[in-house]
Amino acid sequence: MQCLDRRTVLAGAAALTSAPAFAAAEPGKPRVWSFTRPDRVGGLATEVLGEPRVTPGPGGRALLFDGQDDGLVIPEHPLAGARAFTIEAVFRPDGGRFEQRWLHLAQDAADAADAEGAGSVSGGTRMLFEIRVAEDAWWLDAFVKGPGYSQVLIDPTKRHPVGRWAHVAQVCDGRRYAAYVDGVLQAEAEIAFRPQGPGRTSVGVRLNRVDWFNGAIRECRFTPAALSPGQFTRPSGLVG
């Protein structure tokens, strides 16, 4: 619970009471990763950890992660160089451990401006999605970090049932950073975002192979622009 308290305090301190609207942007071409097989995602060969299994998902197949040792490592940071971004995902948390990291985009190169030691898994420039789980509910944790910015978005009062498909998103226009579940705002803050460099992505686990995810992931969509909730792409049949 110590981690939750620390991050909740940070989120509360940075939350905006009156956030600006997203800056106008022409949506760039999204990078779409459909998780239909473990060995290849988005045209890239993956490093497969454990045995993620194919399972039915909304609009097609998904990958199921067991919360123990299933994960993927993909040799790309799909938002490297983006000055604004939207990350969307369709996933189904199935309960389990309190803290689970299921998407981790990391810059590989060290950054001298990062006082905590950029380039390392624990202190480097990165974007991520986690969840917190308590009994039969989960809540979203979005996080972004780089030179001059470090921000968590989490609200433990906004809980969602395990075992159901959901659409989640985090959006940044370079200044406003916000997180959504099924198009509903969960938390927001103001940051001074700077583009991140090339790197890697882990799915279903942190890059250093802890905090394994228990559940299924259908799709991730990475757009180098700040989308509004009305522009999100959500497949039908998310409940179940």
What pLDDT score does 29 carry?
A: 87
CATH architecture of the domain formed by 2-18+33-230: Sandwich (2.60)
Within 13 Å of residue 138, how many CA atoms lie on the same side as its CB?
Answer: 29
The contacts of residue 209 (CB under 8 Å, 6+ apart) are: 49, 71
- Please give the average per-residue pLDDT across 28-33, as a whole number: 90
pLDDT exceeds 80 at position 16: no
**Domain map of the chain by residue range?**
2-18+33-230
Q: How large a percentage of the chain has pLDDT more than 70?
A: 80
3-state DSSP call for residue 146? strand
Q: Give the pLDDT of residue 236.
A: 61
Name the pLDDT band for 234 (thresholds 50, 70, 90).
confident
The pLDDT tens digits of the residues spanning 97-129 come to 999 999 999 999 876 555 444 444 445 999 999
pLDDT of residue 184: 97
Residues 36-53: what's their mean pLDDT? 98
Q: What is the DSSP string of 150-181?
A: EEEEE-TTS-EETTS-EEEEEEESSSEEEEEE
Please name the residues in contact with 23: beta carbons below 8 A apart, sequence gap of 6 or more: 84, 173, 174, 175, 226
Q: Let me know how long the chain is.
A: 240
pLDDT score for 11: 45
Q: Are 145 and 192 in contact (CB under 8 A)?
A: no
Residue 2 has pLDDT above 50, yes or no: no
Query: What are the pLDDT digits (tens) for 61-103?
Result: 999 999 999 999 999 999 999 999 999 999 999 999 999 999 9
Give the other-Cβ count within 10 Å of 64's Cβ. 21
